[in-house]
Chain A
């Protein structure tokens, strides 16, 4: 059969953000896949070098709209480690509360997106309707629905009162009931299960070798969660389980996320019931001590890494972000191979891609030689300098 290449993206209804997936297909079967990034590069890392540490919190928040709290927490933790600040326990608890609410909202959103990609618009509408509840909770706590801006260096900016606590408990109860219903629905509805089970297989060894992270990795039987493996903040105190699935396919990823949401709801309940008294923040210095730090954080999509290098001034010298989606791309290629065209949006959506999160670097690919690598600006200038045109040049043919 003739092989053709179809472009999925950078503009495609299945993609909410620009990325280019080039699929080589034979009939309806995908034979090869290629991911190309770089449509949404905003130069955030460079911009961070020209802003103060306080200003950078809000810049980090804008890396991504859905895991905005993840990026700030990761960054703030790094800065706190650099200047050896001890964050009060109440501050840590409120931070973790927003983290878990964000995870719940992200997973609800993902469930809706996955249902929409599978053409299951009713489930999409219902999950997004219920997601409004958790969005409203976040708005009550922080004052906004998307960019919570609750983190600051040394703690959190807003405290919780009794009315808010009550509302959160009410919301949690409702969300738990709904999520249990969706668990039942997502695993018993024949047309949906038929679409997701056995699709996008990622075996355990492959997931490990290709460095998948987050729910993608956990759906392949590997119980890896930064909250458990390397507890940050107050996570050492919370009782929760790392959810895994053993089917290694999109259904497994659905199950992992659904279970994780219920775990997160339990954590939220625990936090509200055991919220310690005391201060919510400590005063942070404007100038941060010289040094470098790597901060790890379990975002809803997987492990988020921030690297911060300080040179003793009030601005960071270097800030590097490794968003979880970037780590999942190699595994996605593996999952897509030998799948059906109809499964492309589902498999791609199953890693919960956040494309603008992952637009961090430029890789240069030489199409003629097939070589690829990362270059410095000076190298690019040297290599791609315009050749001088000789005046009496004779065309060789």
Chain B
């Protein structure tokens, strides 16, 4: 190996007249790839309340409560503060009711604001349609 003094200088000077590669973040943003894993979102009309997302979530971030047994009314709470954005719920969901959007700037000053609630009735027809498929 031969040592060369100032071997880095050409590279440095070349970049002096180039655009900086830094992106000044809050003002300009990079494009997100297509299947980015952001925040989990529920499509309530597709949920059949099988609770496989609740069972598989590694962060215990999804809760489903029964509000009324007769009306088939349920409440799903996604605790986005606990969510680790692994998208296992999307994987586990048999009907495709959950998906990840591309929201990543979710910081707030309170944990409560990160809680997302869905109150919905279990749609019989839609669910049957999907299970037939």
Contacts and interface: CB of A to CB of B under 8 A. Distances in A.
Is there direct touching of A and B in the complex, by C-beta distance under 8 Å?
yes
Interface of A: 51-52, 54-59, 61-62, 122-123, 126, 129, 132, 136, 139-140, 143-144, 147, 149, 152, 157-158, 181, 184-185, 187-190, 193
B2 interface: yes
A158 B90 CA distance: 12
Contact of B4 (A126, A152, A188): A188
A147 B84 contact: yes
Contact of A143 (B11, B35, B55): B35
Residue in A59, A123, A188 with the greatest tally of chain B CB atoms within 10 Å: A188
Interface string B44-58: 000000000001111
Contacts of A147: 84-86
B21 A129 contact: yes
Contact of B37 (A59, A126, A143, A184): A143
A178 B4 CA distance: 19
A143 B84 contact: no
B3 interface: yes
B21 A190 contact: no
Interface in B61-113: 84-88, 91, 100
Contact of A188 (B7, B55, B59, B85): B7
Contacts of B57: 55
10 contacts: A51-B58, A58-B86, A61-B86, A126-B11, A147-B84, A181-B11, A187-B1, A189-B7, A190-B5, A193-B1
A189 B8 contact: yes
Nearest to A120: B8
Contacts of B59: 58
B36 A139 contact: yes
Residue in A52, A58, A62, A139 with the greatest tally of chain B CB atoms within 10 Å: A58
Interface of B: 1-5, 7-8, 11-12, 21, 33, 35-37, 55-59, 84-88, 91, 100
- What does DSSP make chain B's interface, helix, strand, loop or mixed? loop
A362 B11 CA distance: 48
A143 B7 contact: no
A144 B3 contact: no
Contacts of B88: 54-55, 58, 149
A51 B84 CA distance: 15
Nearest to B84: A58
Given A58-B58, A129-B21, A189-B8, A144 B1 contact: no
B56 A144 contact: no
A149 B7 contact: no
B2 A188 contact: yes
B36 A144 contact: yes
B4 A59 contact: no
A55 B56 contact: yes
Contact of A52 (B7, B56, B86): B56
Given A52-B56, A143-B33, A144-B37, A185 B85 contact: no
A111 to B, nearest CB: 14
A182 to B, nearest CB: 10
Contacts of A126: 11
A143 B87 contact: yes
B5 to A, nearest CB: 6
Given A189-B7, A193-B1, 19 more contacts: A54-B56, A56-B58, A58-B58, A58-B86, A122-B8, A126-B11, A139-B33, A143-B35, A144-B37, A144-B85, A149-B87, A184-B7, A185-B7, A185-B8, A185-B11, A188-B2, A188-B3, A188-B7, A190-B3
